[in-house]
């Protein structure tokens, strides 16, 4: 290896993937990228992602890095990879990165968007969560605001997930309604890190507030309880998109 580090920005429809991370016998985003890059490189190549999206979760701009001996210009590498990738994923950009760049550990903030709809639409199948009845958006916003800042998010971490710690700094969260496309709720959230299943757990619990099954005060109690059993059901993966990964001193 020459030590050349490339930063890849990748979009994908997560519907037919078993998530990002390579798993034996499963189709994964990382697996497809590594197969394409290995074919281009002529030897096995490891691709490292900024985060491990779960099965069914989509990405607008997932970030990955790879160490390579390839001498092709970065923009030509993007085209060569796309020629080898399936049509449900796309390498949007390839850029040369500093030697110390790491897609995961150099990231300073990650942003997700979650889409909810009140109407079935075949054009959006596997793209958003259909909740049938428009929820109380104002109540959901009030509950969401209690999450801002640094907290222990154990209540919104999938059971069985064991990170080194459960503290995250939630920098922003917004919930908007748009009338177009059958009516849709767009929830955006940014944090320095996310636990496994955290966004979908938050969305599922906020939906309980929107349906009037949980008050804002009870939602706050769920956060403070640090107990996953107190939260609502996990929202479906189909509505979740990794929207952006930020780095200090952008590459």
Enzyme catalytic residues: 54
Residue 53's alpha-carbon distances to 17, 90, 197, 200, in angstroms, are 10, 16, 9, 11
**Widest CA span in the chain:** 58
Phi, then psi, of 48 in degrees rounded to 5: -110, 130
Query: Could you please report the per-residue DSSP string of 166-188?
Result: -EEEEEEEEEEEE-STT-EEEEE
Bridge partners, 114 (sequence order): 187, 240
Alpha-carbon gap, residue 249 to 73, rounded angstroms: 22
Q: Are strands 240-247 and 58-68 parallel, antiparallel or unpaired?
A: parallel
Q: Are strands 240-247 and 47-49 parallel, antiparallel or unpaired?
A: unpaired
């Amino acid at each position: 290896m020459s030590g050349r580090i490339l930063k890849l920005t990748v979009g994908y429809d997560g519907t037919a993937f078993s998530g990002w991370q390579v798993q034996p016998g499963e189709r994964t985003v990382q697996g497809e990228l590594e197969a394409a890059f290995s074919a281009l490189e002529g030897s096995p190549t490891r691709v490292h992602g900024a985060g491990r999206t779960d099965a069914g979760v989509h990405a607008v701009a997932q970030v990955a890095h790879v160490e390579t001996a390839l001498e092709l210009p970065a923009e030509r590498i993007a085209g060569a990879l796309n020629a080898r990738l399936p049509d449900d994923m796309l390498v949007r950009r390839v850029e040369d990165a500093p030697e110390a760049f790491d897609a995961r550990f150099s990231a300073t903030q990650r942003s997700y968007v979650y889409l909810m709809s009140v109407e079935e639409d075949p054009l959006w199948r596997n793209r958003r969560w259909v909740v049938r009845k428009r929820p109380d958006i104002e109540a959901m916003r009030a509950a969401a605001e209690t999450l801002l800042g640094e907290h222990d998010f154990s209540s919104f971490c999938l059971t069985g997930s064991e990170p080194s710690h459960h503290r995250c700094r939630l920098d922003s969260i917004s919930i908007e309604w748009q009338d177009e496309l059958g009516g849709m709720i767009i929830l955006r959230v940014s944090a320095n890190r996310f636990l496994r299943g955290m966004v979908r757990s938050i969305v599922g619990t906020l939906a309980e507030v929107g349906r009037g099954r949980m008050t804002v005060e009870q939602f706050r109690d769920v956060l403070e309880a640090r107990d996953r059993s107190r939260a609502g059901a996990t929202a479906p993966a189909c509505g979740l998109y990794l929207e952006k990964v930020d780095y200090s001193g952008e590459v």
